[in-house]
Amino acid sequence: MTEPFTIAVDGPAAAGKGTISKAVAEHFGFAHLDTGLLYRAVGAKYLLGMDPAAAARALTAGDIEGSNLRGPEVAQAASKVAVVSEVRAALLDFQRSFARRAGGAVLDGRDIGTVICPQAEAKLFITARAEVRAQRRFSELVASGSMTSPEQVLADVRERDARDQNRAESPLKPAPDAMVIDTSDMSIKEAIHAAIAAVRSRR
Ligand code: CDP
Ligand code: CDP
């Protein structure tokens, strides 16, 4: 059984965290957890009228499942419930246990390198200009049949970034020891290569 090895990946919306984390996990044979999905699952229950802290506790107890979590309404709801201290506390142990599993783990989110896994062996902060990120998310939404405009997607991304960066608890920011990768002018393939090289430098 190999020792735990945690790769913490943080960054703003649509920077490429998820795609890069999945590829990095496959490359090293590690497990991958998209922690944004936890907040999205809680956000989706909040939209249905459930108390967010109760939803977070039910989620880690395995009592609720998430589906259809990818849309912009759920993303906004996720960032609203993510400011609630009890929600973050309820999701903490699950993420920490996942991070220290044998065989290695990649977690992506907003506070992995700063709060969830400050001792992570490798930390990446994936970012890109807001306009570039909004264009990427817009292309995804159009491909999935959604009717929206580039302006609306940019406004949504900016609103969510501001809420994530300015909240009191676990705000989005690079850990002091994170390796920052700006993917604005990279293809997804180049970004994945840069991330793998950065992790190798810490192994
Ligand atoms: O997880 P996060 O919201 O940070 O981003 P993602 O879902 O991994 O990436 C958003 C979209 O941008 C995906 O369709 C990626 O393929 C695309 N992307 C890209 O085209 N070029 C990059 N350098 C990074 C991401
Ligand atoms: O894929 P994208 O970057 O658009 O969003 P996400 O990673 O699915 O996260 C949705 C929201 O959950 C974020 O805007 C944050 O408010 C919150 N979140 C968080 O607070 N902490 C995390 N570790 C992950 C997500």
| β pairing state of 31-34 and 105-109 | parallel
Tell me whether 0.85 is exceeded by the ipTM: yes
The residue that leads in pLDDT, 202 or 127, is 127
Residues with CB under 6 Å of ligand 2 are 13-14, 18, 35-36, 39-40, 75, 78-79, 82, 109-111, 160, 164
3-state secondary structure of 176: coil
DSSP letters spanning 26-89: HHHT-EEEETHHHHHHHHHHHHTT--HHHHHHHHHTT-----S--SHHHHHHHHHHTT-HHHHH
Residues with CB under 6 Å of ligand 1 are 11, 13-19, 136, 140, 183, 186-188, 191
Q: Ligand 1, residues 40, 124, 136: which to mutate, most atoms within 8 A of Cβ?
A: 136
| β pairing state of 6-10 and 122-127 | parallel
**pLDDT digit string, tens, across residues 57-86:** 999 999 888 888 989 999 999 999 999 999
**pLDDT digit string, tens, across residues 121-148:** 999 999 999 999 999 999 999 999 999 9
Taking the CA of residue 22 as reference, the ligand 1 atom at the shortest distance is 8
**pLDDT digit string, tens, across residues 152-166:** 999 999 999 999 999
Q: Cβ(122)–Cβ(23) under 8 Å?
A: no
Query: Which residue, 100, 103, 92, 102, is CA-closest to 35?
Result: 92
Cα(129)–Cα(144) distance, rounded to whole angstroms? 23
> pLDDT band at residue 1, thresholds of 50, 70 and 90?
low
Cα–ligand 1 centroid distance for 2 (angstroms):
30
Taking the CA of residue 108 as reference, the ligand 1 atom at the shortest distance is 1
